[in-house]
Structure 1
């Protein structure tokens, strides 16, 4: 298994589902000097209880930071807070995991659902990359090694096959989630264009599909447990090089068509 050796890691949407499982697995890893910034919308709320319990087990490894992907001011404040804690070492790995699902079709999707989904799933990650970019640049420069990897400096966008324009039509009857799919297709384009911009700084950027997972978002019918999905994603993340920069893969390492 290709280990994730990144020291300073930030994960959005870390209080439940895949985000929480990712924090759990990374905090249990024996990587020295690791620090995980686990961000969520409401750190003190009932939905963050499991994350707070995890911090009690690993108090020197995990720091909870308030970050609402739908609130630009919150994103700015979180970047300032993380920056003050990072010092001169920079941020090695940014995992854009926060996202929402809204069901609907052409006939049933509301303007509010479209706006809210796009704001959280596309504009939020865009602003998160923008605000944390200086820390990723610092880490890339500090590494002193050529090439790209998640251990040096990387942005991993947790996307979905639902954002694949060539794949989704055949699944649409089963998953009528138009606002979600449209926003994730936009998120995929954001990944591709961010990869173009980040190339010069040798900051790796790619989109990763976790599979259909049994979470609050994925539902009970999903065939995959969060543990299995995250184990696979961390294997993929740990093995990434510049060859996968700007790519779209799933948790098993297979390439997904745009």
Structure 2
């Protein structure tokens, strides 16, 4: 950027020996050699439910049974629908499983993407999930620290491994016990594939509707990304969104009604 003279301070070509002051305005000019132009097939913008949006990022409410991004050319997924809404390509910061609903973050340009990636690695983006799982817990709050690896017999599945694998940490808090299930809030310190599903199943408390780790299907997987919190990296604005899910609440409703009558 220095060689290309693509840095300006207060509208004037930057002299790199100058000291930048707090009130100065820096302008960085990017071209295709910095960030190659990316083309993305547009989906249906009417499927996008926006929770927050600014110049650099967008948070949307993903429905269950929708891919975050396609696995091959021609796949139309949430990223394509969000691109259609923004009328430009967007970039996945973190993903949600096909069956999982809730708040998900996208970068609107390639400049902010590595910044958001770093924030995610450094646990500066906080994600809280609600899950309805089998059985009851002895503790109201606890932490699951178990490494996760790939099941060599089934590449779709993840398993707990004693050695190797990826470090995985899930903070669990019981929100409401029902007669035979528990509604819990899970906050991730790491973001491994199927992390919450594998961790809860490893304790004998698999998530309802999880055909992969519980073996029983239902109307939907009872896992929902309820809250997402971060500080906007350029404005320092505190962002906290809450995502609602009609299908998740509908599945909970009979249990709440039985508890109320009881």
Please indicate, yes or no, whether the TM-score normalized by the shorter chain is above 0.5: no
User: Whose strand fraction is larger, Structure 1's or Structure 2's?
Assistant: 2
The structure, 1 or 2, with the larger RCO (C-alpha pairs under 8 Å, 6+ apart) is 1
Larger Rg: 2
User: Whose helix fraction is larger, Structure 1's or Structure 2's?
Assistant: 1
TM-score by length of 2: 0.28
